[in-house]
């Protein structure tokens, strides 16, 4: 078992993708438009329901960027953004010359705290004399946020919500698909997501008018003249017909992928039931229906792990998230906010056993690049980052793999 590396989350390819890709080559639609793009969008619209419209794009990050533009975000504006997330939720805010205002998480879902959200809105209005332009909650690791409370605040202050459902494809709250509550919903089809187009993303829109406006900006903002006339800044963000072909094939197995991730949560729950000091993160109530894109655990700070006294003795080579990354050398062995020594020791031990595990996302308000951004915090995301870990959860992770993973966890706990 240990000789075959178990990866955190890689989308599993079915046999259908090749058919759609070959069709694109046979019909010479090897461009960022075509039958596969239209078909993939139609499949997604059926999947999310609620009479929503979908635009297929080059990345989830592009979807965030275009949604912000559609909400009128520009230089000097402020956008309320969940702190506990990947940087792609926040970076597009800065592309537009706006400032992210980071909101910490609540304990149950690990997502944007509605109490802090309203506090931040009131405080920003008092400090700046104007409202933030948008609210960007995230469905972290697939877990639905307290979206009914967030939407109530959105309506109260008339601030649009852009749901970052990049990790929440197929997750539901009160039976409604995540990404369909707000003005816009962001999806990602990166290679590690629930379904993949190798890269790519999509934006869920309210209606055809909103979809057409997004498509206008995603295709270089061209006006209706017999030559290239540009009156707005546009972007080359449309998904290619080849990638969309992969997406159409993936949609045929999307339900199976989601079911498998949920099944793995059940398996981990059973296997970890007798392990003191480790808590599996699960749906807070029946209203929540996470896709469990990644199954995550919290490790008690008092739990002892073999080798934790040496956890940070050696600098890491390369970057988390892929061997293809180009990185700068670390300036020190430590930062002012990092996983506890027992978490890092367990990650190292699992890596040696052929198991890819990772820390949780480092909160954006603790990232040096956002050091000057205002943040409304309560300590939740920092504590979770220090104590949490992601376990392998992809479609290729079998029940036997999960048993092996938990066996290795148990073997590295000091008793």
Residue 69 has pLDDT above 60, yes or no: yes
Pick the last residue of a domain from 219, 253, 287. 253
**273 assigned to some structural domain:** yes
Q: Quote the pLDDT of residue 2.
A: 44
| Domain, as residue range, for 120 | 16-253
Q: Which residues make beta-bridge pairs with 136? A: 81
* Mean pLDDT, residues 158-172: 98
**106 assigned to some structural domain:** yes
What phi and psi, each to the nearest 5 degrees, are found at residue 40? Answer: -65, -40
Residue 232 has pLDDT above 90, yes or no: yes
Residue 29 has pLDDT above 90, yes or no: no
pLDDT in tens, 187-220: 999 999 999 998 999 999 999 999 999 999 999 9
Q: Which residues make beta-bridge pairs with 241? A: none
Q: Quote the pLDDT of residue 312.
A: 94
- Number of compact structural domains in the chain: 2
* Mean pLDDT, residues 39-47: 98
Q: Quote the pLDDT of residue 31.
A: 64
Q: Quote the pLDDT of residue 324.
A: 61
Q: Which two tokens stand for residue 253?
A: 């197995």
The answer to whether residues 60 and 86 touch, using CB atoms and an 8 Å cutoff, is no
Q: Quote the pLDDT of residue 20.
A: 74
- What's the CATH number where 132 sits? 3.40.640.10
Residue 211 and residue 312 in one domain: no
Q: Quote the pLDDT of residue 314.
A: 85
Residue 163 and residue 247 in one domain: yes
Q: Cβ neighbours of residue 266 under 8 Å, at least 6 residues apart?
A: none
∠ Cα 94 100 102 (to 5°): 150
* Mean pLDDT, residues 350-355: 97
* Mean pLDDT, residues 143-163: 98
Residue 151 and residue 73 in one domain: yes
Q: Cβ neighbours of residue 160 under 8 Å, at least 6 residues apart?
A: 71, 133, 134, 135, 154, 182, 183, 184
* Mean pLDDT, residues 68-85: 98
Beta-strand relationship, 134-136 and 388-391: unpaired
Q: What is the mean pLDDT of the chain?
A: 94
Residue 381 and residue 233 in one domain: no
Q: Quote the pLDDT of residue 331.
A: 78
Give 165-220 as a DSSP string.
Answer: -TT-TT-EETTEETTSSSSEEEEE--TTSSS-SSS-EEEEESSHHHHHHHHHHHBT
Residue 361 and residue 265 in one domain: yes
Residue 228 and residue 307 in one domain: no
* Mean pLDDT, residues 164-173: 98
Residue 114 and residue 199 in one domain: yes
Pick the last residue of a domain from 253, 276, 309. 253
Residue 323 has pLDDT above 60, yes or no: no
State if pTM tops 0.85: yes
Helix (H) or strand (E) holding 246, with range, is helix 241-251
Q: Which residue has the tokens 């967030």?
A: 150
Q: Quote the pLDDT of residue 97.
A: 98
Helix (H) or strand (E) holding 154, with range, is helix 147-157
- DSSP-derived letter for residue 391 is E
Q: Quote the pLDDT of residue 166.
A: 98
> Residue 102 in 3-state DSSP?
strand
Q: Quote the pLDDT of residue 329.
A: 80
- What's the CATH number where 382 sits? 3.90.1150.10
Pick the last residue of a domain from 234, 253, 272. 253
Contacts within 8 Å (CB) and 24+ apart, 267-276: 267/399, 267/402, 267/403, 268/295, 268/297, 268/391, 268/402, 268/406, 271/402, 271/403, 271/406, 272/297, 272/406, 272/409, 275/406, 275/409, 275/410, 275/413, 276/300, 276/303
**347 assigned to some structural domain:** yes
pLDDT in tens, 368-382: 999 999 999 999 999
**345 assigned to some structural domain:** yes
∠ Cα 32 238 221 (to 5°): 110
Residue 220 and residue 288 in one domain: no
């Amino acid at each position: 078992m240990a000789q075959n590396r178990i990866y955190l989350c890689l989308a599993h390819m079915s046999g259908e993708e090749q058919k759609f890709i070959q069709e694109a080559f046979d019909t010479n639609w090897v461009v960022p438009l075509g039958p596969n793009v239209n078909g993939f969008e139609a499949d997604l619209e059926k999947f999310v329901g609620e009479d929503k419209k979908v635009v297929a794009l080059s990345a989830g990050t592009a979807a965030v960027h275009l949604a912000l533009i559609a909400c009128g975000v520009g230089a000097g504006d402020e956008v309320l953004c969940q702190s506990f997330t990947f940087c792609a939720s926040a970076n597009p805010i800065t592309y537009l010359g706006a400032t992210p205002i980071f909101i910490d998480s609540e304990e149950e879902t690990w997502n944007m705290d509605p109490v802090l959200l309203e506090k931040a809105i009131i405080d920003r209005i008092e400090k700046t004399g104007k409202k933030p332009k948008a609210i960007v909650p995230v469905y972290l690791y697939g877990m639905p946020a307290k979206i009914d409370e967030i939407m109530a605040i959105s309506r109260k202050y008339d601030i649009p919500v852009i749901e970052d459902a990049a990790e929440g494809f197929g997750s539901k709250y009160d039976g409604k698909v995540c990404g369909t509550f707000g003005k816009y919903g962001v999806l990602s089809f990166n290679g590690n997501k629930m379904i993949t187009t190798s890269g790519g993303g999509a934006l869920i829109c309210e209606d055809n008018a909103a979809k057409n406006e997004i498509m206008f900006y995603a295709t270089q903002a061209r006006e209706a003249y017999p030559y290239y006339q540009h009156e707005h800044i546009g972007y080359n963000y449309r998904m290619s017909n080849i990638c969309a072909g992969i997406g159409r094939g993936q949609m045929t197995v999307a339900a199976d992928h989601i079911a498998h991730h949920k099944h793995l949560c059940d398996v981990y729950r059973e296997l970890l039931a007798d392990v003191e000091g480790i808590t599996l993160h699960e749906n807070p109530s029946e209203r929540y229906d996470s896709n469990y894109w990644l199954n995550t655990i919290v490790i008690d700070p008092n739990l002892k792990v073999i080798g934790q006294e040496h956890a940070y003795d050696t600098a890491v080579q390369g970057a988390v998230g892929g061997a293809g990354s180009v990185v700068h050398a670390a300036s020190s062995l430590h930062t002012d906010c990092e996983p506890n020594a027992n978490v890092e020791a367990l990650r190292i031990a699992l890596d040696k056993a052929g198991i890819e595990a990772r820390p949780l996302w480092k909160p954006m308000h603790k990232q040096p690049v956002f050091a000057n951004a205002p943040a409304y915090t309560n300590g939740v995301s920092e504590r979770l980052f220090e104590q949490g870990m992601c376990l392998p959860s992809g479609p290729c992770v079998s029940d036997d793999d999960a048993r092996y993973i938990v066996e290795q966890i148990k073997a590295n706990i000091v008793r």
